[in-house]
């Protein structure tokens, strides 16, 4: 979806000026939490499920 050349964000950047793409903050935190503790990982997993 966010492919550099063929993704949706690439398409938007070509057609809409000023588009800024940022990787989901919650997803980044979830990736870090997997390495920190089981309890934090489970908490962020529940949050992601609620958002999605």
Residue 37's pLDDT is 79
Compute the mean pLDDT over every residue in the chain, rounded to the nearest whole number.
Answer: 79
Rounded to whole angstroms, how far apart are CA atoms 30 and 37? 11
Burial class from Cβ neighbours inside 10 Å (0-12, 13-18, 19+) for residue 10 reads middle
Residue 4's pLDDT is 66
pTM score, two decimals? 0.38
Give residue limits of the domains in the chain.
Answer: 23-52
Average pLDDT over residues 4-25: 80
Rounded to whole angstroms, how far apart are CA atoms 39 and 19? 36
């Amino acid at each position: 979806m966010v492919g550099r050349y063929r993704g949706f964000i690439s398409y938007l950047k070509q057609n809409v000026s000023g588009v800024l793409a940022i990787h989901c903050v919650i997803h980044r935190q979830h990736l870090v939490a997997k390495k920190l503790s089981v309890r934090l990982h489970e908490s962020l997993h529940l949050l992601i499920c609620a958002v999605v």
